[in-house]
Amino acid sequence: MDHDTFNMGIRKYLKVVGVTSQREIERAVTDAMEAGKLKGNETLQARVVLTVEGIGLEHEIKGEIALE
């Protein structure tokens, strides 16, 4: 295994995950605000499940996203 290639692959994947996740959260919050489902002062509970097939990895990350 080439550790440099492996490290770069992980970083590239996580960058895509981060950018895509932010975009989707922003869109969902905007839609919920426009639909009157959110007031804009909530703290949202968030959860990500990271799964890597082939090695049996499943890791859950929980957190909060404050809107105000």
Buried b or exposed e, range 22-36, using 16+ CB within 10 angstroms: eeeeeeebeebeeee
Q: What is the mean pLDDT of the chain?
A: 98
Between the alpha carbon of residue 2 and those of residues 7, 45, 52, 59, the distances in Å are 9, 38, 19, 24
The per-residue pLDDT for 52 is: 97
Task: Report how far residue 46's alpha carbon sits from residue 62's, in angstroms, rounded to the nearest whole number.
Answer: 6
DSSP 38: -
Report pTM.
0.89
**How confident is the model at residue 68, as a pLDDT?**
96
pLDDT tens readout for residues 31-62: 999 999 999 999 999 999 999 999 999 999 99
Q: Helices marked H in the chain — which ranges?
A: 3-34
pLDDT at position 26, please? 98
